[in-house]
Structure 1
């Protein structure tokens, strides 16, 4: 009898142990499955991360190339204006002869200029149609050097005659002394940047803002170093 009981106990234990081993084997298989799936997910995530990093790097590279192209294009647009002058606040007349007016400006500042050295001279549309100011005049001279020399003569004249700077009376536009402004012909983008620079200079007590060769400069005072302004972000860092 005892032997039968022992046999039954052994059989029961063997059966339970077999079931346990099967369950353990199934558990191990499940763990292996989940481990394999985890590895797949990890690999997929790494691939996605690598692709995302690659795409981000490509995007940054494209943005840098785009900025470089925009910068080159802006430079080319400004270079195309290197022989040009822009005259503002010059009264408009129906039958005006703008080329003769430029000759008169040269004469007024002791810089004789021949009509043959003036390639073209025309009014341009206002950036603000509601403005009551006269349309600006764009004048193209025969060379950049000639343009710069005329500008230099105007600046010298204005410094020597602070109470009688270049004005309409000096160039034969009646008896009223209304200021006439002559400057380099800037691209719309540079003109906007120049205006923003002048505003920033006033807000931050910078004494000097000027344009030379299509580039905008700013200086705090006589003792400070000049700084070139190439974009608006620089204006934010001015102290």
Structure 2
């Protein structure tokens, strides 16, 4: 019995001493590693990132890794590029549109100016159509014979030049372009040209328009024949129409510069662009 009591006392002493050591230790019971006051060298912090970098580098060298991340990187780069490129694309598009508009306006102004100069060069000219064409003809004599119907005292010196142009159309003779010596003589002929145009010999005198203006005037005559306007005529290369009111009476007189101004004319989308100087 005495021996058992001694063993119990020894075990109790052992527990007491163990608890005293645990209470005096700064280490948490859950942390089996004791804290050390020894400073940690800098190499401990640099060695791990270097090693990680090397591992990542070796991993990126593998084809399967590159194939896996390439689509994601491409998508990210594309989004970033589009983010910065989109405003530039819009700016370029706006500049192109502005440049195109300015170019069209300048081309239109240039074509109109060139057409005005060309028409001015035809100021003293008149075309005469319907004069019979014969072999070895003297065109000047035929022209004077026709013009005497409106100017009885017209003389060869009133005509500066004359020649036939174009090709015969449906058996009709080629027209004759007559350049008169003075604008006054031309005005007198154009004022009384109805005397010649109404004759039964099918000889007509009109203004010598540029191809551009002749094309517009042709469409104006079509509108007149369709009773969409009450008249159309030219004066000094300018084209005029008399509009038609709903009741059929005469409306206002308008100078036109384009086919789209003609009542009843339906342009195609291409014709809404500035008209060519020389339409076919």
Same fold (TM over 0.5): yes
Larger Rg: 2
Would the aligned equivalents of 1:86 and 1:185 in 2 still touch at CA under 8 Å? yes
Q: CA deviation at 1:112?
A: 2.3
Would the aligned equivalents of 1:218 and 1:229 in 2 still touch at CA under 8 Å? yes
| Matched residue, 1:170 | none
Q: CA deviation at 1:98?
A: 2.2
**Alignment counterpart, residue 220 of structure 1, candidates 233, 243, 248:** 243
| Matched residue, 2:214 | 191
**Alignment counterpart, residue 235 of structure 1, candidates 256, 259, 262:** 262
Question: Which range is displaced more, 202-211 or 68-77?
Answer: 202-211
2:122 is aligned with 1:81: yes
| Matched residue, 1:142 | 181
| Matched residue, 1:71 | 112
Runs (5+) with no aligned partner, structure 1:
9-33, 159-164, 168-176
**Alignment counterpart, residue 124 of structure 1, candidates 144, 157, 165:** 165
Tell me the SS of whatever aligns to 2:148.
helix
Equivalent residue runs for 1:200-215 within 5 Å = 200-215=223-238
| Matched residue, 2:87 | 46
CA deviation profile, 1:85-140 (whole Å, cap 9, x unmatched)? 101111112232222223222322244211111011111122xx552111001000
Change (3 A) 1:54 1:121: same
RMSD, aligned α-carbons? 2.9
Which structure 1 residue ranges, 4+ long, deviate > 6 Å from structure 2?
Answer: 34-37
Tell me the SS of whatever aligns to 2:221.
helix
Question: Which range is displaced more, 221-230 or 116-125?
Answer: 221-230
Change (3 A) 1:203 1:57: same
Greater relative contact order, per chain length (Cα 8 Å cut-off, separation 6+): 1
User: Normalization by structure 1: what TM-score?
Assistant: 0.70
Tell me the SS of whatever aligns to 2:166.
coil
| Matched residue, 2:205 | 182
Would the aligned equivalents of 1:111 and 1:153 in 2 still touch at CA under 8 Å? no
Would the aligned equivalents of 2:240 and 2:255 in 1 still touch at CA under 8 Å? yes
Would the aligned equivalents of 2:216 and 2:259 in 1 still touch at CA under 8 Å? yes
Question: How many pairs does the alignment contain?
Answer: 194
Partners of 2:78 and 2:176 lie apart in 1 by 74
Would the aligned equivalents of 1:89 and 1:181 in 2 still touch at CA under 8 Å? yes
Partners of 1:189 and 1:130 lie apart in 2 by 20
Runs (5+) with no aligned partner, structure 2:
1-27, 33-74, 266-280
Q: CA deviation at 1:142?
A: 0.9
